[in-house]
Structure 1
Amino acid sequence: MAVARRAVLGAAAVGAGAVGFARRAGFTPSKTGSAGADTLTFSLWGADSEIAAFQALARAYERRHHGIRVEIRMEPYQQMYTNMDALLSGGRAPDLFRCDYANLGMYSASGQLLDLSPYFGEAERAAFLPALWEAVCHEGRPYAVPHHTDTTAVLYRKDMFRAAGITEVPESLNEAWSWDEFTEICARLRKKVHGVYPFVYGWQQAGAFRWLSWLWQAGGRILDADLSAPAIESAAGLRALRYTQDFFREGFVPPNSSVKSAAYPDALFTAGTVAMSFAGDFLLPTIDPALKKELYGVTFQPHGRYAATDLGGNAVVATRTTENPELAADFLKFLVEEENMARFCEQCVVLPTRRSLLGRPLDYAVRPDLMPVYAEQATALTPAMTAQVAVPSFGRINASLQDELEAAFVSRQPAEVTLRNIAEATRSALASA
């Protein structure tokens, strides 16, 4: 997940409304926390608002547990996993850390995380969206809590749409543009609005996996149903890749917005370089101060054979070597308690993972009027999609996507060669997991 750059006031409200799980009968914390008596260490990265929200949650937990301390340790996102690998291998890992879903499987499968099966009953597991609970499980066992999610929808400039004579946009997921209709929209924008590219997509750098939305929309898969072999070499895979290659051939996207580019969708959108941006909800706090609210709106991603979207957001894990697993697990349950999750999502402009919050209107700090579209878009994510991203070897698969999609988009590598190279890299990654 790219980190949004902003701060939101009022994070203390999280603590004021928090309900501590450790009040439950019979809870007795250990006296041997790894950073001192009854201390939990929690490593994370985040935007200013996220850091403030986590700190408020930590203080609220401490108030519910007199004598217990939660020590938050900040890590730069770009070095988070390198640093965490070193800490884990050196026996100096924190009790808890934040982890995106695409990297989670690697840690779950390596025996480095606390198995949370003893701490979550069936009813507690069923409280989460199935696709998100699937994302934190390995071989049927949970190794994290799905703290929140985010997804991609299509921001659009209303003034540029008017200039192109586009007067309506889809207002529900079922009405989303087809691929052919989306191509027509892009062609009209390219012709009518001079000096502006039709759109930009958020597949840059580690976000290369977001391209999978097009594959899934075409009815394809990157892994087979058993998650044991590559499945991208298919008619659907070929259609998805050729369709997305056309974005560059037709000049629908800026040439500097390819997979290995540092030109991110929020910056190009606010600069007026593009008429549309496939952007995550977590970017709204970055975009909102730069554009007047009346200038832009949001609609749904196009669909092929199916609607689909990407798996964004983050989980929180406890490490297997924590000296106080009961306390660590209890803090994880506290983080995803309904009211705590609601406040975090509202302040950080991300989506909840609990079923009970789906139909509940949340008071988002930025553009609450746009968030229902993101929430509906997120329903296109299925457990079958998340399972393909949550495999232990996905980090290596994602690295291959970066290399091969860049070659396909920029160097015009033939689609068949690109799919074959991705399949070979995927097979190798699976074999080494």
Structure 2
Amino acid sequence: MKKMVFRLTFISCIVALFISGCSSGGSSSEEGTPAKEEKVTLRMSIVAGTDEMSAWQSIVDAFNQSHPKTEIKLERLPGGWNEYIQKMTAQIAAGNPPDIGRVGAAYMPMFSSKGQLEDLAPYTGDLKMEDYYSSAFDQYKQDGKMYGVPAGIYTMAMYYNKDMFEKVGISEPPTDWNKAWTFDDLKNAASKLSSGKGASKQYGVYVNLNPERATQYLWTNGGDLFNEDKSKSMINSPESKGALSYLQGLIKDGYSPTPAETQTMPPDQLFLSGKLGMLIEGQWMMPGFSKIDKFKWGVAPIPMGASGKAFTPNFVDTYVVYKGSKHVKEAAEAIKFFISKEAENILVDKNVGGMPVLKSVAESRKADMFNPLSPEEKEVWFQSVEFSRAIPFTNNWQEVVDTIMKKMDLVGLNQLDASKAADDLAPELDNLLKQK
């Protein structure tokens, strides 16, 4: 019996030593080498044109090279913002969102109101706000929380074909926003630039009635889309209706293509083909337009209405971390890198991303931004920030846009009077504002 006990005890000791030896080879010990830390992989999903992707991939590559323990995999979703939002909504619902996103300003209220974004305030306390255009951060702060970090500041201006202007004897518009053209100046130029019929038709200007492209006309005429606290529509105020009627007049007179006509050839293509004299659009057009070699072109402030002050909308796209990310800390570190001097200089080199939010980059790289514009025309973009206002986005913004466009498409087709459309829209928008 004693021999049996001894044998069992001896065998137990051997087994214990064997197990101990096996396990010590797979983990860290005082004498052994620590286990290799597993690399964190982050997914980053963005909307971007094919001509912009090299820029975004470059800043991702720079981050990956400088952060060996973290790797970002960049995902480009084809299509526009609507498709992106649908995809993100589905992925969040399925519990499989990307870690990092770049979200258009219009959609931030929707995501934040639904609790679909992580609070970045605990991870961004070390940012020196005095180094940045801090106002760009403000619209994404709420109750002490920060739901996004600005990716860049975009504004709008008037692109114009200098060759077309010269041909009909129109002087180039001022580059100072304080001396912007008036509504009358715009109409007179559009009338001179418009000619021809059918396939040879040449338009003076493109009128876009989407609220993201038309609200500045309401502002400059003394009107607005909503009141200050977004509790009531202002689209049917006399000032707003006056601006909308003015825009419809440009279409009625044949100076602007109708929505139906731009189905055949979009306005940016009309401009590129030399069939459109003026296009009021954003800085996001610069990468494509910078390659124009068939004619001379420039930029000028957006014309002003009765208020005597010109305005442009600003669009502050945002880096976010989606709710459900398993690596919030690492994702936040990546976002801080994206607004670093290194990353913002890469975007400037690639002519992508709008105005840098880091002051030192914006001020030191003026000569390298917005090429091939002249120094005076570059100032149109730099000065535009002072004349910019935020579009009054709501958390049901897509419904707002859809509602407005049902009427404005008819206005653009000259099937509904602009003033009547505004009166019809006011109660519908009031109802949507109650739901926001």
Cα distance in 2, alignment partners of residues 271 and 49 from structure 1: 19
Higher Cα Rg, which structure = 2
RMSD between aligned residues = 2.8
Could you report, residue by residue, the CA deviation over 1:285-337 in whole angstroms, capped at 9, with x for unpaired residues?
323434346x2222111012121112346222101221122111111111112
Paired letter, 2:284? F
Cα distance in 2, alignment partners of residues 81 and 192 from structure 1: 41
Q: Does 1:300 pair with 2:301?
A: yes
Task: Tell me what 2:348 maps to.
Answer: 345
Task: Tell me what 2:52 maps to.
Answer: 50
Paired letter, 1:236? E
1:257 and 1:263 in contact (8 A); partners too: no
Task: Tell me what 2:243 maps to.
Answer: 240
Cα distance in 1, alignment partners of residues 400 and 138 from structure 2: 19
Cα distance in 2, alignment partners of residues 415 and 432 from structure 1: 26
CA apart distance, 1:362 = 4.7
Q: Does 1:285 pair with 2:287?
A: yes
CA apart distance, 1:95 = 0.7
Instruction: Decide which of 265, 269, 272 is 2:271's aligned counterpart.
Output: 269
Cα distance in 1, alignment partners of residues 332 and 378 from structure 2: 31
Task: Determine helix, strand or coil for the equivalent of 1:82.
Answer: helix
* Residues 365 and 255 of structure 1, relative CA distance in 2, 3 Å threshold: closer
Q: Does 1:375 pair with 2:348?
A: no
Could you report, residue by residue, the CA deviation over 1:223-247 in whole angstroms, capped at 9, with x for unpaired residues?
2111233222212111111111111
Aligned residues: 391
Q: TM-score, normalised by structure 1?
A: 0.81
Task: Tell me what 1:136 maps to.
Answer: 140
Task: Determine helix, strand or coil for the equivalent of 2:118.
Answer: coil
* Residues 123 and 227 of structure 1, relative CA distance in 2, 3 Å threshold: farther
Task: Tell me what 1:11 maps to.
Answer: none
Could you report, residue by residue, the CA deviation over 1:177-223 in whole angstroms, capped at 9, with x for unpaired residues?
011222222233347999421112455xxx54211111111122212
CA apart distance, 1:113 = 0.2
CA apart distance, 1:359 = 3.1
Q: Does 1:40 pair with 2:45?
A: no
Task: Determine helix, strand or coil for the equivalent of 1:278.
Answer: strand
2:100 and 2:319 in contact (8 A); partners too: yes
* Residues 407 and 256 of structure 1, relative CA distance in 2, 3 Å threshold: closer
1:154 and 1:279 in contact (8 A); partners too: yes
Q: Unaligned stretches of 5+ in structure 2?
A: 1-35
CA apart distance, 1:165 = 1.6
* Residues 276 and 326 of structure 1, relative CA distance in 2, 3 Å threshold: same
Task: Determine helix, strand or coil for the equivalent of 2:44.
Answer: strand
Q: Does 1:68 pair with 2:64?
A: no
Task: Tell me what 1:211 maps to.
Answer: 214
Question: Alignment identity in percent?
Answer: 24
Paired letter, 2:105? Y
Q: Unaligned stretches of 5+ in structure 1?
A: 1-30
* Residues 257 and 99 of structure 1, relative CA distance in 2, 3 Å threshold: farther
Instruction: Decide which of 174, 179, 202 is 1:196's aligned counterpart.
Output: 202
Task: Tell me what 1:148 maps to.
Answer: 152
Q: Does 1:325 pair with 2:332?
A: no
Task: Determine helix, strand or coil for the equivalent of 1:400.
Answer: helix
Task: Determine helix, strand or coil for the equivalent of 2:159.
Answer: strand
* Residues 179 and 380 of structure 1, relative CA distance in 2, 3 Å threshold: same
CA apart distance, 1:416 = 3.4
1:106 and 1:395 in contact (8 A); partners too: no
Task: Determine helix, strand or coil for the equivalent of 2:205.
Answer: strand
